[in-house]
Structure 1
Amino acid sequence: MSDLPLSHIRVLDLSRVRAGPTCVKFFGDFGADVIKIERPDGGGDPMGDNRYSSDYVNAQRNKRGITLDLKRPEGVNVLKNLVLTADVVVENFRPDVKHRLGIDYKSLSSVNPRLVYTSISAFGQTGPYSRRPGFDLIAQGMGGLMWLTGYPEKGPLRVGISPADLAAGMFAAMGTMIALLERERSGKGQWVQTNLLSSQIMMLDYQAMTWLMDKRLPQQRGNDHPQIVPTGVYHAKDGYFTLSTVGNDSFLRLCKAVGAPELGTDPRFLTASLREQNRDAMNAAIEAATTKKTAAEWVEILNAAGVPAGPIYKLDQMFADPQVKETRIAQPLEHPKLGKIEILGQPIGLSRTPAQFRKAPPELGEHTDEVLAEAGFSGEEISKLRRQGVV
């Protein structure tokens, strides 16, 4: 057995697109035996249309792959056989689909009461929208994020990544880990649920609390922080950079560093509240100084003065940064068709048992015979399932 921390865990991955694979990736990277289950025709997952795309390769590493037709009772029986030795099932079907197929939590936990069954949906397992189709963009809009992003005069703005998908996947992984830990005490599995909508709302954090507790509606602020001023994106002689101040001490250090100590005693800017009220004047005063030097110069000057500041990178610049290299977030992977490539690693570091990136994504059904043989199916039984089109 591997010495990776999750090498004793087996995960059956029925998920598609992004949120489910984001969840499962945590398990595979830390050693779990992840078995990706796909339709025999390879359909059902738009990301699977190109198995050699950068997106697919990053999402589907560290898995074995089998095919199984879950619309047929023979396929469901095979899945239940695999569930006998599984610890986790992850799925992101629409809530009604798993019940229609007979692979819902109640059905599979009756086969294996220790099973942790993780469901990721767009809007939740119940409620008026539970059967609606939904993707990240829809959750960004419904979850309040787009209304907070961008500039007031230009309308709502989509964030440049898929935060609802990614958050739902991470929360699903966290919930699954919690259920596995609890199982050590109770001996019983349970049903873990999360969805894109509530995950996106959770990510609003202090912006959501501004309404829940204070009953104030946050507004679009562009690159400005909604409450802390000055914090945001500022012009330099040759472009842009970021800086952030928290508290009067940090603000006074900024004023001195940019050569405008008088701003620290300006009646308009004496307190955090006054700086927020006069944010336009505050930002204009800071930029009057910052446009005199380059962005790189200001990053050095401000950090030396104890004021957090940083460059604004394009992705090629970002991956070339020495600190980014030090984090080793980009990891090598040997792909049988693509050769040596790089993928995104894990931001989680473990001192004894770190993540490993061992396997490229499987070809469609690459490990079907191997996995079914491990589950006790004979060669003749596997051949029969193939003849029937079940696998």
Structure 2
Amino acid sequence: MTRSLQRSTILIGLLTGAVLAVGAIAIAQRVDARPETAVLVVLAASAALLLHQPLSLLGYLGAALLLRLPVVTVKLSPLRRSFVRVGPAADAPRLRLRMPLFNLAGPAMSLIIAYGTWLLARHRTGPVQAALDAAALGGLLFAGQNLIPVRYGAHRSSGRNALRWLLRPDLARSDVALVRESVEDRALLDDVTSGRLEPAALYALVADPSRSPKVLLTASAQLISQAVRAGHDETTRALGSIADLARSPDVDRRTGGLLATTVANAAGLIYLKGLRDPAAAATAEDIAEVAELARLGLDSGHRQVLAAHNALAVAQLLQGRPAEVAVLLTPEVVRLPAPAQHQGTAMALRTIAQSYLGATPGAERVLATARSYGCPPSLCDLAEQLVADSRGPGPEQPESGR
């Protein structure tokens, strides 16, 4: 299906270019046969074809105002695809009439401008008239190709959208509902990232698996951040709530894996303090849960695979298995495509494992790089302390939890 759509898009582009070139040359030859006139006409037609993209937005915006359709996105670009997106409620009245009118307003504006350009050409002579006629042809072709019911990449043509409302209104209403939902998600994400939401509101969000993955992940990160500042009990509660969400069958596999990875990393960094402070050591059950969540993240196929490797490495360190960490976080794994902070964290964890194995050549340089990559300061500090210990009497092997 995608290949056929690409072929149709290329075919329409070639036909438009061919008609434009033939029409422009015919207009030029009607005036005179000079090459410079032909060049002027072709340039005028091409410029019109480009300028009608932003000009057609006037039609969409005017129709949205007259039809009382809320505008949610306006993208204006003379060289790339421009569009206006509206987001009425899916159950708004007379959408089956209002939305086709909205979708046809852009091509209608192009036709009106093209007709006005043609009328203006009737009052001119010579090359100027030819250039205006060619500009009118460019506008006519732009409107025509926009009315052909095809897709252009991720966007449907106006003609395809209009037909969708006339022939498949159920699917068209679903599209409108998705647009509306994305607008609501953006507003919600703004509230979450701004820190305006109280913990109770964040807990409500992470307890609702119907929310979009981005909302769930952002709310989870914000909740963990607030909980850590509030203390141990609140942190335990927040991590438990997000872990339950990650395991929920109502959350898709990849989102669940990302949530599990987020919890495992947050809990693991807290439990790592127990490597030097026995009072902060986690229980064997807590460490096992970190390992289980990390494996859930690894098995989910999400893109943040290095973060999941880091979480599993933390669990292995806490279980007293530094040799497995050295095998897990190989240099090739550390260099996996990932945010720099994840790479820095992996470097620090690998250095901690090597300190227990008595092999820390170049540790200072590696940790300096890890810090520059955004490794959590507490983790890099811990790694430096353990490296220093390994060059003294030697650090004790981490216990597997108490």
Assess same fold via TM > 0.5.
no
Provide TM-score, normalisation by structure 2: 0.25
Higher relative contact order (CA 8 A, sep 6+): 1
Provide TM-score, normalisation by structure 1: 0.25
Report which of the two has the higher share of strand. Answer: 1
Report which of the two has the higher share of helix. Answer: 2
